[in-house]
Amino acid sequence: MTNASDQVTRFSDYRPPDFLIDHVDLDVSLHRTDTRVTAALTMRPNPSGQTSGSLVLDGDELTFVSARLDGRPLEPQEYEATPAFFRLHAAPDRPFILTIVTSVNPAANTKLMGLYRSGSAYCTQCEADGFRRIAYCLDRPDVLSTFITRIEADMKEAPLLLGNGDPGETGVLPGGERHFAVWNDPWPKPCYLFALVAGDLASVKRGYTTRSGRTVELGIHVEKGKENRCEWAMDSLIRSMQWDERVFGREYDLSVFNIVAVPDFNMGAMENKGLNIFNDKYILADPDTATDADYANIEAIIAHEYFHNWTGNRITCRDWFQLCLKEGLTVFRDQEFSSDERSRPIKRISDVIRLRSAQFVEDSGPLAHPVRPTEYREINNFYTATVYEKGAEIIRMLKTLIGADAFDRGMALYFERHDGQAATVEQFIACFAEASQKDLSEFFRWYEQAGTPIVRAREAYDIRSGAYSLTFAQHTPPTPGQADKKPVVIPIALGLLDGDGQPIIIDTDDACWSNGVYRLSEAEQTLIVRDIPSRPVASLLRGFSAPVRLDIDQSDDDLILLLKCDSDPFNRWQASQQLAIRILKRSVASLSNGEAAATGTSLAEALAQVTPNEATRDPAFAAYLLALPRDNDIAREIGVHIDPDIIHAARVHLRRDIAKTLASVLSDPLQAEQGVYSPDAKSAGQRAFRHAALSASVAASEGDRTSRATVEQFYRRADNLTDRHAALLAIHDQPGETRDDLFSEFESRYRNEPLVLDKWLALQATIPERDTLTRVRALMNHPIFSLATPNRVYALLMSFAQNNPREFHRPDGVGHAFVADMILELDQRNPQVAARLATSFRTWRILEPGRRASAQAALERLKSAARSRDVADIVSRTLA
């Protein structure tokens, strides 16, 4: 492990920068292997800083060429220049212009940070600290500068030149082979929001008029031949702009807004001011090459990046410890957008599934950290589910606790007070405290404490007096670096049902009860409700009102009543999941003892009763009711001595029980006529239910000849990728000729569509069979696969390691060894991608002893061999 992994940045050590950069004139002369960057930094000492006389600028793998101070060439003794920094020994105590010329090699940049090549284009990625790989700078988010960028390139290689801000002068250089474009960004921004793109791309443009009457030119730029797949992305962008004007009162502030889609990108997308850069899988869509899930993701991610224009760009972060200030808030905003555009209950269920599968696991393991961390070794490793998803849940709880009107006033105050600033979480929360006139100091603990709180609810009912009490006790388990936890403020949305499933009016004088929400802030509190004629059934955490684990002793009959009758859609789904987990736990215990698996009759019969009506009323909800918890979800709920083989067997058994019981209910959807494809939520829900029925038909018959024929017919009738992919998914765990033929046909059909073949790779990587590792190794030699392309790595290797626990955690240890080998190979090329793959080991401590020892051995090998700070940090924390 490198010594770099021991360099810790601490929140408590923050101090303002000693110098400020008010303006940057950047000249970038693009060449594949020797791009010349001239950065003229208009600087001044910071009155709030501690100027010592010397100035140190950040760099990373830069080649220094020359430097001038106020136009005068610097003498060698006046400065020190290395690939990692530039030091001016005696900086002026007045405003000055420091001009530095550097050289970078985009073609050799496999880290995909800074300036690099993607396909035939030049592009950039500067968050969190990539700008220092382009030019020496104060690479920190609290240094805000206006930018004028001149981009120069070969006209044939890069006829399109894009930068931040508004377009300015363009021209052709003498000789006619090279040209330039100037971009002027008048809004001060940190350098992590800098971007440029240059290439021979196809453009789709449309005009947009803001609510104040300003005209904005919208552009989406993609590889040639793919421009016909941008319609949904453009439509999503326009709807996002309209929604932000309507709901948050935020209007766009430049004359152009550009999006560029590139095939090589470490993340999903980047909100650079006026020039968003996207992983192309979150832009390109048509019915033949994108699934319903792809359409929904494109819609959400375009909204997310656009919403950053205000929550992230106009108001940015003082330091990277405040990352949740822009990401958690913007995730909340994009979730609200998707809820309004689609189905709020379905969106909430899907968000909670993601939260539990990613963030709850993170919060309960060695990588747990507060939403606002207190220290980090590598900031790239803190773009996590905790910062994003839990950060969004905190905003949602805040709105619940203070009310929608006060929340809106707080947001308006935040925009007004901190526009153009690098803000902190404290400043953000202060706006809501002022707007609501409430003390939010205890609520702030959500930002400071790691771990998922556990809320235990205990019921008592006095039949003589009709008094019903709910006693809530909360505690948060210890996490790395935080042994003792304080109570947090938890909004518990709840209702009560009588024995017929009818709602009961809650009559209480408790000051903590208001508008259907109980405010839990102490370690233990009791809510007493009067005049209840019979024992009620409690519906707690409606809408998943807080990111906590709920422990309540409810009978199977109680859960079935909630499933059938609760007015809250989320808790109806939650009841089905809770009952399934209960049955699966019994099965795992039985199978571990060599006994037969538990039966799922009670759940199956309840689902058989509710599914027909739900399939008509809301087929997407019906599909979610039929979806069992995944193997990883079951392991998370059990939590100790995990044997993935037994968990998988238990799930297969319950899935078969349910499918057989619902066979008659689910036969009709497979015969229904499928209309012309549309990506709207209603149509997508109908398809989702048909796919659930298809999967159930295979499970009920255990993959017999008839069900295989049904799947094959479904595949061949399909006129869209969503249905074709669903057919492969239905049969992907059924070995045999039908599966092989369909997978082969799919590959042949989409051989020239890398994004579609990513789904093909992922499906094969998650086959729960003992030869899957051999299959994965073979697929690494497929022409489509490359370790240099993050999308391919995520599709094949990440899918295997994170979504195929049975094979990744093989008892012979070869799955662990293989993934460790891949991490080390990637570490030499792209440390960020390698570090993401390394997080696959984060649950190793809950495995049974043999598998646990195997995983530990792989981690110890990684610890000794890791080269990058990214991987070393993940591995050291995972082992701690």
CA distance 450 to 47: 36
Q: Give the number of other CB atoms < 10 A from CB of residue 244.
A: 21
Helix runs in 618-753, H state only: 619-626, 631-638, 644-661, 667-671, 681-700, 705-717, 721-731, 737-749
CA distance 396 to 329: 9
Nearest to 730 by CA among 753, 752, 714, 750: 714
DSSP 8-state symbol, 357: I
Residues contacting 698, CB < 8 A, separation 6+: 707, 708, 710, 711, 730, 731, 734
Distances (CA, A) of 311 to 251, 268, 316, 347: 12, 18, 7, 22
Selecting among 127, 223, 299, 305, the annotated active-site residue is 305
Give me the residue label for tokens 């980047």.
270
Q: Give the number of other CB atoms < 10 A from CB of residue 824.
A: 17
Burial class (CB in 10 A: 0-12, 13-18, 19+), 431: buried
Beta-ladder partners of 45: 19
Instruction: Report yes or no: 494 and 546 within 8 Å, Cβ to Cβ.
Output: no
**849, containing H or E segment:** helix 849-865
CA distance 694 to 730: 7
CA distance 314 to 310: 5
Nearest to 276 by CA among 300, 248, 304: 304
Instruction: Report yes or no: 471 and 524 within 8 Å, Cβ to Cβ.
Output: yes
CA distance 395 to 399: 6
Instruction: Take residue 762 and report the two structure tokens written for it.
Output: 């992922």
Nearest to 708 by CA among 747, 742, 759, 674: 742
Q: Which string of b and e fits 636-663 if b means at least 16 CB within 10 Å?
A: bbbeeebbbbbbbbbbbbbbbbbbebbb
Distances (CA, A) of 460 to 470, 501, 536, 602: 7, 19, 10, 26
Instruction: Report yes or no: 389 and 354 within 8 Å, Cβ to Cβ.
Output: yes
CA distance 809 to 323: 33
Residues contacting 384, CB < 8 A, separation 6+: 359, 362, 367, 369
DSSP 8-state symbol, 137: B
Q: State residue 816 phi and psi, 5-degree precision.
A: -65, -45
In the residue annotation, 673 being an active-site residue is answered as no
CA distance 120 to 157: 8
CA distance 358 to 342: 23
Q: Give the number of other CB atoms < 10 A from CB of residue 217.
A: 14
Instruction: Take residue 270 and report the two structure tokens written for it.
Output: 């980047």
Residue 665 half-sphere exposure, CB side, CA atoms within 13 Å?
25
Q: State residue 479 phi and psi, 5-degree precision.
A: -135, 165
The three-class DSSP label of residue 833 is: helix
Q: Give the number of other CB atoms < 10 A from CB of residue 757.
A: 23
- Residues serving a catalytic function are 305
